[in-house]
Amino acid sequence: RAPDFTPVMVAEFPEDDGQPIRRLTFDPTEEYVYFVRGNGRMHHGFSPNPEHLYEIPERVILRVPVDGGEIETVADAGSFTFNPATGALAFPRRGGMVEITAEELAEGDFDAETLFRVRGGAGSFSWSPDGERALFIADRTSHSFIGIFDTDTDHIEWIAPDVTRDIYPVWSPDS
């Protein structure tokens, strides 16, 4: 904590089960730290399990209060992003993008609403600086598209779709 920047333990995983912790992110209220625990699925559809645990570890979004406390499971997903305008939490699910509103997060209600689904699945989400549009990649195995989802119209605009592999899209500061 400032001004001395004394470290504070907010979560502890004492077992050495080989599961990584990634994407540490403060929520917009700065009351919680969100993170992903676990690995992605390998080519056979299972997550790595270096400890040979009876139950195969899952990749999940977790949150914990910044002052420490109970760790809560938010969703079964490996990435997430907060909408800069609304504070909603968005993440990939079943070939699309879903979100949990800031109000639902504050109440501990983690039921996600589908924003859109696309063929091939969606990933690499990022919100426009004004929070009105979401940039994403639709992966079609042999090629991929960059799409922009408009939250006002529920419309997806595809940016120069062709048979190449488009990756790593970013927003300019003025959206």
Strand 32-37, strand 122-127: pairing? unpaired
Q: Is a pLDDT exceeding 90 seen at residue 115? A: yes
Res 111: pLDDT: 93
Paired strand residues for 114: 98
pLDDT, greater one: 92 or 168:
92
pLDDT, greater one: 151 or 14:
151
Most confident residue range from 32-46, 73-87, 157-171: 73-87
Quick one: what percent of the chain has pLDDT higher than 70? 87
Q: Is a pLDDT exceeding 90 seen at residue 59? A: no
CA-to-CA dists, residue 53 to 15, 19, 48, 57, 75, angstroms: 12, 11, 10, 8, 21
For 12, other C-beta atoms within 10 Å of its C-beta total 9
Q: Is a pLDDT exceeding 70 seen at residue 139? A: yes
Burial 98-122 (b: 16+ CB within 10 A, else e): bbbbbebbeeeeeebeebbebeebb
Q: Is a pLDDT exceeding 70 seen at residue 52? A: no
CA-to-CA dists, residue 27 to 62, 67, 91, angstroms: 12, 14, 14
Query: Side by side, which strands form the sheet with 144-150?
Result: 122-127, 133-139, 144-150, 155-159
29: its two tokens: 């209220």
pLDDT range class, residue 14, cuts 50, 70, 90? confident
pLDDT, greater one: 50 or 21:
21
- What's the mean pLDDT in 77-85? 93
Quick one: what percent of the chain has pLDDT higher than 90? 47
d(CA 90, CA 80): 6
For 148, other C-beta atoms within 10 Å of its C-beta total 17
Asked if 141 and 159 touch (Cβ cutoff 8 Å), the reply is: no
